Amino acid sequence: MEFKRNIIITGGAGFIGSHVVRLFVNKYPEYHIINLDKLTYAGNLANLKDIEDKPNYTFVKGDICDYPLMQKLMKEYKVDGIIHLAAESHVDRSIKDPFTFAHTNVIGTLTLLQAAKEYWESLPEKYDGKRFYHISTDEVYGALKLTHPEGIPAPFSTKASSGKNHEAYGEEFFTEETKYNPHSPYSASKASSDHFVRAFHDTYGMPTIVTNCSNNYGPYQFPEKLIPLFINNIRHRKPLPVYGEGLNVRDWLYVEDHARAIDLIFHKGKIADTYNIGGFNEWKNIDIIKVVIKTVDRLLGRKENEDLNLITHVTDRKGHDMRYAIDSRKLQRELGWEPSLQFEEGIEKTVKWYLDNQAWMDNVTSGDYQKYYDNMYKDR
């Protein structure tokens, strides 16, 4: 079957990646979507049960650091686009094992870039019609000061602005011009990979795009992350470990809104440019936790704030950045994107999904999800 485009999406069995794969497979039946994932602990093919039999979808189990495999896939599928999401992404894990983060995030990205360069430069049309889109994080920018812990009016508003809670906790924001200043091994590895992507444009003329996103939340997130972990712990009345006083501030982006942004930027973004993708929502960790508790208790028929006593303050992690706040107005202004949900609406949808899909959560927390690949693909 001939397809209009052949696109590799790396990390497509992960949290953000599965949403991007689903969107592209369903929205573009004329595209062949190749989901390339190593299926490490956070990769879960059960996230994609609903599209795994679509004729324009192919799954390949593989490591982005495997250069011969990347060369083979480029040629075999005549790849003309790469959306690169595969990464080690948990800061706490990077503190314990920085080598793995450097290997996957830096060497893996470089391996993909070199394989794409080699294949695309071998074609008569060279780089014409090609695109390498690298998804990164706002953590590469470092940290901002918490100069207004009481909150001040934010300088921007969108559909995702949420009244009093849509406040800023400082005057500064990460923009596309903010200098990189990573603090953790994770953010340092992502910063390095970003630089390699830009270098391949500047040196070889490869059509690249980089985006830096804020914290994502929503369905199918591996439950080591704050929101799904706490939803599950509240349900089972387990402690909710909060770093320090819980005053660290993050911007929050609903994952389906992020997938929409990736779709838009892949097709209409300016080559060699950078776009920030955020939710226009700053929240202190402790305030998010209280919203999650209130929502879970209400949906489970418990008394309001019945589970506030589950909050357990623990020693803060090393090098914990105080405030991230991302300015996405460039994307809003140039391409017309903005979040579709207020944060409270997104949390409502997210909590409902996890409560309605307890079997998925149990499958993940038990480790059974790792058997899905063998069960579904051993005879294919």
- To the query of whether residue 138 is one of the catalytic residues in this protein, the response is yes
Q: Are 105 and 40 in contact (CB under 8 A)?
A: no
pTM of the model: 0.94
Beta bridge pairs of residue 312: 241
Active-site residue, selected from the candidate residues 141, 186, 220, 372: 186
pLDDT at 290: 96
Q: Each residue of 99-132: pLDDT tens digit? A: 999 999 999 999 999 999 999 999 999 999 999 9
pLDDT for 93: 84
The 10 Å Cβ neighbour count of residue 126 is 13
Q: What is the pLDDT along the chain (380 residues), one digit of tens a residue?
A: 799 999 999 999 999 999 999 999 999 999 999 999 999 888 899 999 999 999 999 999 999 999 999 999 999 999 999 999 999 877 878 888 999 999 999 999 999 999 999 999 999 999 999 999 999 999 999 999 999 999 998 888 776 655 555 789 999 999 999 999 999 999 999 999 999 999 999 999 999 999 999 999 999 998 888 899 999 999 999 999 999 999 999 999 999 999 999 999 999 999 999 999 998 889 999 999 999 999 999 999 999 999 999 999 998 887 788 999 999 999 999 999 999 988 889 999 999 999 999 999 988 887 765 665 566 555 54
Identified catalytic residue from 138, 194, 251, 282:
138
DSSP 8-state assignment for residue 180: P
User: What Å distances lie between residue 183 and 139, 141, 189, 304, CA to CA?
Assistant: 8, 9, 10, 39
Predicted confidence at residue 127, as pLDDT, reads 98
From the list 37, 63, 80, 139, the catalytic residue is 139
Of 171, 164, 168, residue with least CA distance to 291? 164
127 contacts 206 by C-beta, under 8 angstroms: yes
| Structural domains present in the chain | 5-217+253-281+320-342 (3.40.50.720)
DSSP track, 104-136: IIIIHHHHHHHHHHHHHHHSTTTTTT-EEEEEE
Instruction: Render pLDDT for 340-379 as a digit per residue (tens, 0 to 9).
Output: 988 889 999 999 999 999 999 988 887 765 665 566 555 5
The span from the CA of 353 to the CA of 117, in Å, is 41
CA distances from 267 to 116, 117, 131, 204, 209 (A): 18, 20, 9, 21, 11
- Residue 204 CA to residue 183 CA, distance in Å, equals 30
List, as own/partner pairs, every contact residues 345-350 make where C-beta atoms lie below 8 angstroms and the sequence separation is at least 24, other chains included: 346/160, 346/217, 346/218, 346/252, 346/254, 347/217, 347/227, 347/291, 347/292, 347/295, 348/295, 349/218, 349/254, 350/217, 350/218, 350/219, 350/227, 350/231, 350/254
**pLDDT score recorded for residue 252:** 93
Q: What is the pLDDT of residue 42?
A: 82
Environment class of 48 (CB within 10 Å of its CB; exposed 0-12, middle 13-18, buried 19+): buried
Q: Which tokens belong to 338?
A: 């903005």
Q: Is 186 among the catalytic positions?
A: yes
Two tokens at 77? 């599928």
